[in-house]
Each structure stands twice: as C-alpha cells, then as structure tokens.
C-alpha cells in the first residue's frame, strides 16, 4: 500500500514537472520573438501614451523573468537580477488561483476563451481517433491474416501513402472533391454535424495508416503464439480466435500509441482547424495568440494541450494494465 502511494505521488510530481517545463519553455520562446505586443494590438500609428498605458495595464513594462540582460545607453547588454517581481512569477501565482490571465486583444479571461474553444478541439480529436480506429482494426486484421498476399501488399501501399501525405495536402484535396466539385459537404465552419467529417477524416487519415501497420504486425506476431493453436484445437471458429484472443493481445501496443497520438492529434489539429476554419483551440492559438503576440492566450493554450496530453497518457496506462494483467504483477 505504501509502495503504491509513493508511486502515485511520484507520478503526480513528474506530471507537474512536465507541465511546468513545457509552459516555461513556451514563455521563454515567445519573449524571444521580435516585436511589441502593444504595437501588434493597437497598431503602428497608436500614440505613445496609449502604448505606454497598454503596457502598464498588462504588466508588459515589467521584467519577464527573474533576471535579464537589458541594454545600456551604449547598446551593451548587462546581467540584471529582477527578483520575484516579474511576469513569470506572477503568472504561476495566478495559475494556483485558477487565473490564466486576460487576453491582450479582447480583454476577456483566457479561461473563458479556452472553455469556449476546447470542446470543439476535443470533439475533432475524438472523432478523428474513432475514424482512424474504425479503419485501422479491420484493415490491419485482414492484412495480418493474409500476410504476403496481394491484399496485404495493396493495404501496405495504401497505409504508406496515408502516412506520407500531411494534413495540409489531404485537407485541400478533400475540400476540392467533396465540397467544391460534389457539393456534399461544407468546406469550412462548425454549424452542422456533417461539418466535422472532412476535418476529422483529414486528421485521422495519417493515424489510421500508422495503426493499420501496427495492427497488422501485432496480428502476425500473435497468430504464431501457442495459445492460438490451442484455441483452434478446442474447436473455436477463426473469427473467435482472431477477434476474441488475437486482437485483444495484439491491441496492447496499439492502445499505447493511441494514448500518445491523442496529444499529437490535439497539436496536429492546429493545421487542420486553420484549413477548415474549425473554431477550436488550434485556431485560437494561431490567430488570437501567436499572430497577435497575445502571451496569455499562447501560454493558456499550451497549458491546456500539455495537460490533456499527460492525462491521456495516464488513461493509457490504466487501459494498458486492464489489457495486460501481467503489468500489475510486475
């Protein structure tokens, strides 16, 4: 019991460390980007007094971190220690109180902006994963059962093409055929249930290709195990052998990849959301955060994505242990 408690505390500490590291790195990188957020929001022709007022309102007139290397009147950089009175320190203190800051451009709390947009991104990622799994499992099983055949070779070629084509190629192709040429689906937006089909398929195409190859390899490996011969000797049908025994054991590495790919889907959704005008977290990060030099929005979006990624990995461990009880023993 004590060992399990220590393991849970250790894992929770590692999760906090990962989130802190990711957000800190992003905070450093956005500070290195040239340009003034006040000028980006107010415009090049804004009066100096208005710019100064904006910077004071959002704390941009204060030091970004504990120390820095400001320039003197001769243009030379010198080390200077600012202490705890800096924007980085204030940001983490605010997080402990549930405050992610205020958007420079809209003056709205970043928490509200994320809560408005994140459901759309989660919805897109989950539907994309559902599409990928629905395609990968049957195709992977068929390819694995027919190893070396024409069917196997054909599916391998299709999977290779799916892995090779990035989302910014697949997306416009789907829009051209299904929205422009055929007129079956809307090219962008999120107004109807059918609007998610094109972006979800775009996002899930590469994942389905990866999973198909993994399921194929797992099925081939498991079909050579002794328990398969035993199951067949007991008179079980080939369908029962494959889907009740082989597939359950073969899905263990696939589940691991799925958990890791959820974070990849959330990150990859940035490009897909931009292509299809999907009002999710990716569009918020790119258009309202990075493009506008809105530090609070960028930090909040990265914090939400990294936290979700870690929670997905934790859930993956739980499912992994359910699929393979030997892990609990070890």
The pLDDT, as a whole number, for residue 328 is 53
pLDDT tens digits in sequence order for the chain, 330 residues long? 566 667 677 777 777 888 888 888 888 887 777 777 787 778 788 888 888 888 888 877 777 777 665 555 555 555 666 666 678 888 888 888 888 888 888 888 899 999 998 888 888 888 988 888 888 888 888 888 788 788 878 888 887 777 777 777 888 888 888 888 888 888 887 888 888 888 888 888 878 888 888 888 887 877 777 777 777 777 777 777 777 777 777 777 777 777 777 766 766 577 888 888 888 888 888 888 887 788 888 888 888 888 887 777 777 776 666 666 555 544
Q: Which residues are CB-contacts of 234 (< 8 A; sequence separation ≥ 6)? A: none
Q: Report d(CA 264, CA 213) in Å as an integer.
A: 18
Tokens 């369908």 sit on residue: 239
Beta strands in the chain (DSSP E): 67-68, 80-81
Q: Report d(CA 239, CA 244) in Å as an integer.
A: 8
The pLDDT, as a whole number, for residue 330 is 47
The pLDDT, as a whole number, for residue 320 is 65
- Determine the topology of domain 110-329 in CATH: MetI-like fold (1.10.3720)
- Which sequence spans correspond to the domains of the chain? 59-101, 110-329
- CA-wise closest residue to 214 among 263, 163, 170: 163
């Amino acid at each position: 019991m004590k060992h399990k408690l220590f393991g849970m505390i250790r894992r929770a500490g590692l999760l906090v460390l990962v989130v802190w590291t990711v957000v800190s790195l992003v905070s450093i990188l956005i500070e290195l980007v040239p340009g003034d957020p006040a000028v980006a929001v107010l415009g090049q022709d804004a009066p100096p007094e208005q710019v100064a007022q904006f910077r004071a309102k959002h704390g941009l007139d204060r030091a970004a971190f504990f120390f820095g290397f400001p320039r003197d009147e001769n243009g030379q950089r010198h080390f200077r220690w600012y202490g705890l009175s800096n924007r980085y320190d204030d940001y983490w203190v605010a997080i402990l109180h549930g405050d992610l800051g205020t958007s420079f451009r809209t003056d709205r709390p970043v928490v509200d902006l994320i809560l408005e947009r994140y459901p759309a991104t989660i919805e897109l990622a989950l539907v994309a994963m559902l599409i990928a799994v629905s395609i990968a499992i049957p195709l992977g099983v068929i390819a694995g059962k027919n190893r070396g055949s024409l069917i196997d070779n054909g599916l391998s070629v299709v999977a290779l093409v799916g892995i090779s084509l990035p989302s910014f190629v697949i997306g416009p192709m789907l829009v051209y055929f299904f929205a422009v040429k055929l007129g079956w689906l809307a090219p962008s937006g999120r107004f109807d249930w059918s609007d998610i089909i094109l972006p979800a398929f775009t996002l899930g195409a590469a994942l389905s290709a990866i999973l198909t190859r993994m399921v194929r390899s797992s099925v081939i490996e498991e079909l050579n195990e002794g328990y398969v011969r035993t199951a067949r000797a007991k008179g079980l049908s080939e369908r029962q052998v494959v889907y009740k025994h082989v597939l359950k054991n073969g899905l263990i590495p696939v589940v691991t990849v799925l958990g890791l790919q959820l974070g990849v889907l959330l990150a990859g959704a940035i490009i897909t959301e931009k292509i299809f005008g999907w009002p999710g977290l990716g569009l918020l990060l790119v258009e309202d955060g990075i493009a506008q030099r809105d530090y609070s929005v960028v930090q909040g979006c990265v914090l939400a994505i990294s936290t979700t990624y870690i929670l997905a990995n934790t859930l993956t461990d739980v499912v992994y242990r359910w699929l393979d009880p030997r892990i609990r023993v070890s």
